[in-house]
Chains A and B, each alone.
Chain A
Amino acid sequence: MNTIILSAIFGVVMMFTGIFIHNRSVYKTVSAVALLVLLVFNIAESHGSAIFNIDTANFLHFDPFGLLFNSICIFSTLIYVMLSGRDLEKAGNNTAEVHALIFFVLCGIGIVTSYTNLLMLFIGIEILSIPLYILTGSDKKNLKGNEAALKYFLMGSFSTGILLMGIAMLYGSGGTFMVERVAKEGMLSYLSALGMVLIFIALSFKVSAAPFHFWTPDVYDGAPAVITSFMATVVKVAGFAAFIRLIEGRLGSMGSQSDRLIGIVIILTLAFGNLTAVFQQSVKRMLAYSSIAQAGFMLFALFAVNDAAKEGLLLYAAAYSLATIGIFSVLAKMDDMTLEGFNGFSKSQPLIAALLAIFLLSLAGIPLTGGFFAKYYMLASVVKTGKYLGLVIVGVLFAAVSAYYYFKVIQAMYFKEGNIVLAPVTNRFKYLLVFVAFLIVLLGVFPNSLLSFLYF
């Protein structure tokens, strides 16, 4: 509860800051401090001391999983704001509003990680999506950004419609919005099955799983790089938290049919994401496709739905978000976002190049980085179920494909000659980036350092 209420309040605070303070560089600091407070209170709640005890009539249930997920999202956002705060100022005219919108998104995340009622899911998804439509188009003078925003809005509202339709059908067949009671009904009628599939489609759209991913590359490419960084990481993994809560409750009871459905979506997502990422020349666009591919891996958690899957999803959320935020924060400072733009990076910026290499290795899932354990848990969760070993093998084949395009960036940075154009970076930025890399390596050697929070 702390997260939901405080983030809404902080959002309003940020808006007023925009009215009363006209010094742009202050917003970043205020926002970072507010995020820190938010993080502290969220952790406090996961240790049992909530400051707001509001009766939610069981519409929301705050369990360790959801709260830890919130912590990861808030922490990633904090890192994001600290790393990319200066680039956010360039993204639009009203920087304070951008920060306010980010807080509203976090409010939505707080709801979707802990809902027990389908209505709350709907509200959470809406609170999370609407600020994103605005953020995508925050650079008003950029034609591509406007196109992306409009496209995202149209597609997004369409998928929300489908979500609502699905919820209505489930209500019609079961007479309840509560996820767990809907689940106990079992697979009774065509109506409830259809409703479930519609919700599945809508959420697949939100996490950009194939074949509902077509908006992703355009939107990620069109939006300012800083905004893409936020959308592709924090928001996307929150979508998975919402997804796994639903599947855990409901779709799991559908047995082999839902297995097949999710299995097909996983293979399609991995194939689309990886195979198209291979051919990209622009690193930004490549990361957009790779985020689809990474979503494919996170979908394994939905397939397996067991302890290993939930732990894995948490690790994945942390490792993937941190690495991607790190890469985007550097990318936002570059003029030339193509692969050639990275040529000779290690010569002029050896430290940043080494850190980028760590982030890319983590995304590729190489041991000693958090990305490895994230993938490991995902694969383990499916192997643990004892069915569809073929799916795991398809997964690792595509993991090898993904190494191809991540390593192309490393090759460009280290083994090719060229001059890079990079906006000046402060020492603080470098130290922060080192800290992020350290966290990724820490997760890669002791994944328990994060997961042990789950069992306190």
Chain B
Amino acid sequence: MIPVLLIVIPLVTGLISFLIKEERSAKAFALLSSVATLAVSLISLFQNGTQNSFDASWLPMLGSRFSVSLDGMGKILTLLTAVSFPIIFASTYNNKYKSPNAFYGFMLLTQAGLMGVFCAMDLFLFYFFWELALIPAYFLCSKWGGEKRIPVTFKFFVYTFLGSLLMLVGILYVYYKTPDHSFAINSLRNLALTASEENFIFWLFFIAFAIKMPVFPFHTWQPDTYEQAPTAVTMVLSGIMVKMGVFAVIRWLLPMFPAASVRMADIVMILAVIGMIYASLIAIRQDDMKRLVAYSSIAHIGLMAATMFTGSSAGMQGVIFQMFAHGVNIIGLWIVIDVIEQQLGTRKFSQLGGLAQKAPVLAIMFVIMCFANIALPLTNSFVGEFLMFNSVFRHSVIIGAVACISIILAAVYTLWMVQKVFYGEVRNEENISLNVPVNTQIMLGILVAMVIIFGVYPQPMINLTSDTVTKIIAQTK
């Protein structure tokens, strides 16, 4: 029953939230709902077996069932989703939105879609939730975003919609190739496809996932959308939604097309590594904090994309671990950026400087988050990135070596951002007053604690990943 609760709580509260007209109660209601989801998610960590799966008839004519279940990877990703939403709601509690009821309603609906994607064990159900997560996000960005929000969000929408339609064709194709005409994950593991069919269908799926992650050259929607979306939504998009792509590759693509994944590994890895270097180089040239973090996110996701295709179990565990770590880190960065933007009205490096003198606590937390972004030891990212680089190296020394350049570049742009914004000479002195609200400080504190705890003691989470990974590796061999 737990996965059902994870989906239903945000879904129902999201719909109710549309009816709450008063701003303060809408906020409180959304926060309460997300905390309830978090509680359920925490319970799921200590449950095994039947409690974590649910199966019911849904579309008997199509052979699709409402089948949801949580394995190790599912637990980690639903936990990330469940942790993120209360933190996002609490840290942006003071932001003002017009028609807040709709804003929080759409946010909760997005959460429901994301939870569904991470729990679904039926490919058709998965597609359903995959789209369900997209539509509210579209409305959130278009209505509450920045100046150029309408065209930018539309680009985002058309990209992802096209990707999902291609995936739909792929889904239909594999459906008719399953022995018992079903969408269940266990039937899809035994597809009888010829090599050329497999290669072709592989790309139909991969393009959809690559757009979501995004992997070069499908990334062009991402920086614009992150920049224009309201920060709370950017946190959802970058912290959780991009993980949908990575997750989907591990959950569906690799088990369904094991042979094609090996054949296409080099092409995908080269694309991913090009994306890492390219995005890092562009990040160095940015003047806007949001855009810089957006490009840095492309670089980090690129590494995950490359590692998934190495076929190494340690690397795969690193990817799953890093999905969680990256979510935590990037949400932390966005929170700091949001504080700066709300209080000073700008995100431009050219107009910022010396903030550390005004807000030392914020500066310390931001620096820790930035260290995590560069994957310094003792931060959570170090564990994941080490495992990932290690397996990429084992796969191919050249690709590994080129990928490693991105570590250096990451240090360049991240530290440059810290230096420009928090240190250096103080700009626009007269109107500077940075009061970090208490709720934001607490949330940042929690995130920093998570960065350090998982950096020092990653073993419990790594253990969680092992059952998923063993299954997939057994499949590919």
Contact = CB atoms under 8 A, between A and B. Distances in A.
A411 B149 CA distance: 11
Contacts of A384: 176
B169 A396 contact: yes
Nearest to A451: B61
Nearest to A381: B172
A448 B60 CA distance: 8
Contacts of B59: 446-448
B173 A400 contact: no
Contacts, number: 69
B162 A397 contact: yes
A367 B127 CA distance: 9
A384 B175 CA distance: 9
A442 interface: no
B162 A400 contact: yes
Contacts of B169: 379, 383, 389, 392-393, 396
Interface string B176-217: 100000000000000000000000100000000000000000
Nearest to B142: A415
A407 B154 contact: yes
Interface string B135-176: 100010011000001100010011001100110110011011
A399 interface: yes
A366 interface: yes
Interface in A407-446: 407, 411, 414-416, 446
A392 B173 CA distance: 10
Range for the number of chain B residues in contact with chain A: 20 to 34
B128 interface: yes
B132 interface: yes
Contacts of B127: 367
Interface residue SS majority, chain B: helix
Nearest to A392: B169
B71 interface: no
A376 B168 contact: yes
B131 A367 contact: yes
Contacts of B175: 380, 383
A414 B143 contact: yes
Nearest to B60: A448
A403 interface: yes
Contacts of B173: 383, 389
Given A361-B135, A400-B158, A403-B158, A383 B166 contact: no
B168 A396 contact: yes
Contacts of A446: 59
Among A361, A380, A393: residue with most chain B CB under 10 A: A380
B162 A367 contact: no
A63 B176 CA distance: 28
Contacts of B143: 414-415
Nearest to B163: A400
A383 B150 CA distance: 35
A411 B131 contact: no
Nearest to B166: A396
Contact of B132 (A367, A379, A447, A451): A367
Given A379-B169, A392-B169, A400-B162, A414 B128 contact: no
A255 interface: no
A158 interface: no
A400 B161 contact: yes
A393 B162 CA distance: 10
Contact of B176 (A386, A396, A399, A448): A386
B165 A400 contact: yes
Given A403-B157, A448-B61, A383 B176 contact: yes
Contacts of A448: 59-61
A448 B128 CA distance: 16
A262 to B, nearest CB: 19
Given A393-B169, A396-B169, A411 B150 contact: yes
A324 to B, nearest CB: 21
A193 interface: no
Interface string A127-163: 0000000000000000000000000000000000000
B154 A368 contact: no
B131 A414 contact: no
A392 to B, nearest CB: 5
A109 B196 CA distance: 46
A16 interface: no
Contacts of A451: 61
A150 B61 CA distance: 46
Interface string B31-64: 0000000000000000000000000000111000
A453 interface: no
A120 B60 CA distance: 37
B61 A403 contact: no
Interface string A296-321: 00000000000000010000000000
B158 A380 contact: no
Nearest to B169: A392
Point out which of A400, A446, A447 has the most chain B C-beta atoms below 10 A from its C-beta: A400
B172 A380 contact: yes
5 contacts: A367-B132, A368-B131, A389-B169, A407-B154, A446-B59
Interface of A: 311, 361, 366-368, 376, 379-380, 383-384, 386, 389, 392-393, 396-397, 399-400, 403-404, 407, 411, 414-416, 446-448, 451
* Top 4 A-B pairs, shortest CB-CB distance: A396-B165, A383-B172, A400-B162, A367-B131
Given A403-B157, A414-B142, A448-B59, 8 more contacts: A311-B61, A367-B127, A368-B128, A368-B131, A379-B169, A399-B165, A415-B149, A448-B60
